[in-house]
Amino acid sequence: MKMFLISDNVDTLTGMRLTGVEGIVVHEVHEVRKALDKTLEDKDVAIILITEKLARLVPEYIRNIKLNLRIPLIVEIPDRHGTTRSSDSITRYVKESIGLKI
């Protein structure tokens, strides 16, 4: 099993290639969808890494994949500029999911 990166910048792709992760750089909504579709066809890919910026372009599409497919796992990662999430995003996610305040 392998990972595949869908990134919006070359620097993130270059860094991931140094660790052995292949990927693609895209910028437009239709390019993101096409890259996701092509990656889903590759049964060797177990994890898709996608930058947060690109994930925000197609949130419903990604949600649909997450809900309907067991593999691959889709992980949203920050790019070289850092994360766009708030500092309490994990605790807020747990609270919204199961109603527990940490």
Contact 41, 66 (CB under 8 A): no
Q: Is 94 helix (H, G, I), strand (E, B) or coil?
A: helix
Which residue range is the domain that position 41 belongs to?
2-98
pTM (predicted TM-score): 0.78
**pLDDT digit string, tens, across residues 67-87:** 999 999 999 998 766 565 555
pLDDT tens, the chain, 102 aa long: 899 999 999 999 999 999 999 999 999 999 999 999 999 999 999 999 999 999 999 999 999 999 999 999 999 998 766 565 555 656 665 666 676 665
Q: Residue 75: which CATH number?
A: 3.40.50.10580
Own/partner contacts of 71-75, CB < 8 Å, gap of 24 or more, are: 71/46, 72/39, 72/40, 72/45, 72/46, 72/47, 72/48, 73/46, 73/47, 73/48, 74/47, 74/48, 74/50, 75/47, 75/48, 75/49, 75/50
Total domain count for the chain? 1
